[in-house]
Structure 1
Amino acid sequence: MRLIIIGGGILGTAHAFEAVRRGHEVVHLEREAEARGATVRNFGLVWVSGRASEELEITLRSRQLWEEIGADVPGVGFRANGSLTLLRTPAEIAVAHEVAERPDAPARGFTVLDPDEARALNPALRGKFLAALHCSRDATVESRQAMPALRAHLEATGRYIFLPGVEARAVDGTRVRDDHGRLHDGDLVVLCTGAAHSGLVRELAGELPVRRVRLQMMQTAALGEPLTTSIADGDSLRYYPGFAGEALDGLNRTQPQDVVAEQHHMQLLCVQRLGGGLTIGDTHEYREPFPFDVGEGPYDYLVALVEELLGRRLPPVHRRWAGVYSQSTDAGQIVCRRTPAEGVHLVTGPGGRGMTLGPALAEQTADLIGL
């Protein structure tokens, strides 16, 4: 079959990859010259550790797919580096021990380490912490280079055409009209338009059970030494549903968040890019309209926190940015799917899980629509 895929971010590209892998042809439309949304404004984390129990199976499947993709497409920069959640209080350590004793802990690769064990795994951690939760299943890809690498691989098959700077304006049956007046005929249309919930998406599918979430992040110059795992702080225990339980309830009752972290709904995530710099974040803003500027308070907080954990000064911050992603508000739904017309399918709203789950969500879609 011939698919017209709208949206060049991780979901659109993953759907294109899966369709071509199954022997189909793809015409891929992206309104920008290159993906510029949440796909490239993230950590590139394939994050198993904090996923809810009901999401674990699809997350592990996506982790497997990313590893397979990384072997076929080295340019995506896949590496199975794992993560360390660095714990600074007894209440945080209690949460780590609770989740490490659950039945699904081996599947997640959970182990609680003392500081010496954590530093043996990641020698750059010379700062202050009491223990660490190691997740051996977490991994990383290079978010800024993964989409071009995947497209180059697809183009080499002869069954994939990428059309940048082309915006879909109308869908009639399975024919798409773009803003240049050209028509693209296919057997199926798949819309993966990210945080763009209006325009064509609203015309086709109406109001969706999704919301937009804004974040702030930054990247430093090269650290000058390897950060061999991704790192997180104890606030990530509050954010990710996989850590819910009695110990987390106790943490929330007895250990208030830092004022800045609470105000901006923050957690620390930090991953080293292949070039040596550190991507650090992040904040969460849920109320629109979002501000168009970025505040310095969260950046100052994150720099101080990473310096405390590493026990050294950070290199200069070279980039700061904000991003917006789409999140399903349907309880228990990982993603928002709609079929507004025969042969037309919409997939959006994975929240902050887009990079983690992209390949598995595309595989799921392909099964659902009979590819």
Structure 2
Amino acid sequence: MRIIIVGGGILGTAHAMEAVRRGHHVVHLEREPEARGATVRNFGLVWVSGRTRGELDAALRARELWERLGAAVPGIGFRPTGSLTLLRTPAELAVAEEVAGRSDAAARGFTVLDPDEARTLNPALRGKFVAALHCSRDAAVESRQALPAIRAYLSATGRYTFLPATEVRAVSGHGVRDDHGTQHDGDLVVVCTGAAHGGLVRELAGELPVRRVRLQMMQTAPLGEQFPTAIADGDSMRYYPGFAGAAADDLARTQPQDVVAEHHHMQLLCVQRLHGGLTIGDTHEYAEPFTFDVSEGPYTYLTGLVEELLGRPLPPVERRWAGVYSQCIDPGELVCRRSPDAAVHIVTGPGGRGMTLGPAIAEQTADLIGL
């Protein structure tokens, strides 16, 4: 079949990849010269730790698909980094011990480590922490490289065409019409426009159970040494629902969060890029309209926290940025899917899980619509 994909972020690209893998021809349209949304403004983490039990199978499948894709497309920079959630208090350690004792701990690759064991995995961590939760299943890709690398790989098949700077204005079961007036005919249309919930998406499907979430991040100059694992802090146990339980309830009740971290709904995530710099974040802002500038407080807080864990000053921060992603607010849905026509399918709202789950979501979509 001839499949039309609207949206050049990770969801659109993953759906294009899955369609080509199944033998179809794909025309892929992106309104910008290059995708500039949440896909390129994230950590590039394939994050299994912290997923709810309902998400875990999809996360593990996506991890498998990313590793397979990394072997075929080295340019995406896939690395099986694993992660260390660094624990600084007994209450945080109690959460780690609780989840490491659950029946799904082996599937997640959970192990509680003492500081020396954690430093064996990541010798750059010479600072203060009392223990670490190791997740061997976590991984990373290069978020700013992955999409062009995947498109080049797809183009080499002869069954993929990418049309940048081409905005879709109308969609029907027979294809799409773009803002140049060109009609692109196809058998199926898949719309993956990320956080653009209005305009075309609203015309097709009305109001969806989705919201937009804004976050702030930063990237340093090269660290000057290897940083083999991704890291998180204990605040991630407040954020990720996979840690929910009695110990997490005790953590929330007995250990107040830092005032800056609480105000900005923060957790620490940190991963090293292939060029040696560290990508560090993040914050969460849920109430629109979002501010158009970035706040300095979270950056100061994160810098101090990472330096405490490293036991050394950070290199200079070279970039700061904000991003917005789409999050489905229906707890029963992994992602928001709607089909206003038998041949038109909208897929949006993976939340902060788009990079992690993209390949698995695309595989699910292809099965659901009979590709």
Q: Which residue of 1 aligns with 2:144?
A: 144
Q: Which residue of 2 aligns with 1:198?
A: 198
Taking the aligned partners of 1:172 and 1:224, their CA distance within structure 2 comes to: 53
Identity %: 80
How far apart are 1:334 and its partner, in Å? 1.2
Q: Which residue of 2 aligns with 1:154?
A: 154
1:122-133 to structure 2, matched below 5 A, reads 122-133=122-133
1:340 equivalenced with 2:340 (yes/no): yes
Q: Which residue of 1 aligns with 2:234?
A: 234
1:299-314 to structure 2, matched below 5 A, reads 299-314=299-314
1:102 equivalenced with 2:102 (yes/no): yes
Residues 221-243 of structure 1, C-alpha deviation per residue, up to 9 Å, x if partnerless? 00000111000000000000110
- 3-state SS in 2 of match to 1:232: strand
**Structure 1 gap ranges (5+):** none
Taking the aligned partners of 1:260 and 1:77, their CA distance within structure 2 comes to: 33
Q: Which residue of 2 aligns with 1:41?
A: 41
1:92 equivalenced with 2:92 (yes/no): yes
- Contact kept? 2:231, 2:269, Cα under 8 Å: yes
How far apart are 1:307 and its partner, in Å? 0.2
Aligned residue type for 2:107: A
- Contact kept? 2:108, 2:136, Cα under 8 Å: yes
How far apart are 1:342 and its partner, in Å? 1.9
Aligned residue type for 1:151: R
- Contact kept? 2:45, 2:140, Cα under 8 Å: yes
Taking the aligned partners of 1:151 and 1:169, their CA distance within structure 2 comes to: 23
Aligned residue type for 1:92: E
- 3-state SS in 1 of match to 2:67: helix
Residues 297-351 of structure 1, C-alpha deviation per residue, up to 9 Å, x if partnerless? 0000000000000000000000000000000011221100000112000000000
Q: Which residue of 1 aligns with 2:255?
A: 255
Aligned residue type for 2:146: A
Q: Which residue of 1 aligns with 2:272?
A: 272
- Contact kept? 2:172, 2:344, Cα under 8 Å: no
Aligned residue type for 1:341: D
Q: Which residue of 1 aligns with 2:83?
A: 83
Taking the aligned partners of 1:248 and 1:331, their CA distance within structure 2 comes to: 20
Q: Which residue of 1 aligns with 2:51?
A: 51
- 3-state SS in 2 of match to 1:339: strand
Q: Which residue of 2 aligns with 1:165?
A: 165
Taking the aligned partners of 2:347 and 2:82, their CA distance within structure 1 comes to: 29
Taking the aligned partners of 1:173 and 1:274, their CA distance within structure 2 comes to: 42
Taking the aligned partners of 2:32 and 2:352, their CA distance within structure 1 comes to: 21
- Contact kept? 2:9, 2:37, Cα under 8 Å: yes
Taking the aligned partners of 2:229 and 2:164, their CA distance within structure 1 comes to: 35
Taking the aligned partners of 1:90 and 1:208, their CA distance within structure 2 comes to: 42
1:186-225 to structure 2, matched below 5 A, reads 186-225=186-225
**Structure 2 gap ranges (5+):** none
Aligned residue type for 2:91: A
Taking the aligned partners of 1:176 and 1:206, their CA distance within structure 2 comes to: 18
- 3-state SS in 2 of match to 1:333: coil
1:293 equivalenced with 2:297 (yes/no): no
Q: Which moved more, 1:169-178 or 1:204-213?
A: 169-178
- Contact kept? 2:261, 2:267, Cα under 8 Å: yes
- Contact kept? 2:92, 2:251, Cα under 8 Å: yes
Residues 91-138 of structure 1, C-alpha deviation per residue, up to 9 Å, x if partnerless? 000000000000000000000000000011100000000000000000
4+ long deviations beyond 3 Å: none
- Contact kept? 2:173, 2:187, Cα under 8 Å: no
Taking the aligned partners of 1:318 and 1:309, their CA distance within structure 2 comes to: 20
1:65 equivalenced with 2:57 (yes/no): no
Q: Which residue of 2 aligns with 1:16?
A: 16
Residues 261-299 of structure 1, C-alpha deviation per residue, up to 9 Å, x if partnerless? 000000000000000000000000000000000000000
Q: Which residue of 1 aligns with 2:175?
A: 175
- 3-state SS in 1 of match to 2:36: coil
Taking the aligned partners of 1:334 and 1:97, their CA distance within structure 2 comes to: 27
Q: Which residue of 1 aligns with 2:244?
A: 244
1:320 equivalenced with 2:350 (yes/no): no
Taking the aligned partners of 1:6 and 1:70, their CA distance within structure 2 comes to: 24
TM-score by structure 1 length? 1.00
Residues 351-371 of structure 1, C-alpha deviation per residue, up to 9 Å, x if partnerless? 000000000000000000001
- 3-state SS in 2 of match to 1:35: coil
Taking the aligned partners of 1:311 and 1:163, their CA distance within structure 2 comes to: 47
Aligned residue type for 2:93: I
Taking the aligned partners of 2:365 and 2:32, their CA distance within structure 1 comes to: 24
Aligned residue type for 2:366: A
Paired residues, number: 371
TM-score by structure 2 length? 1.00
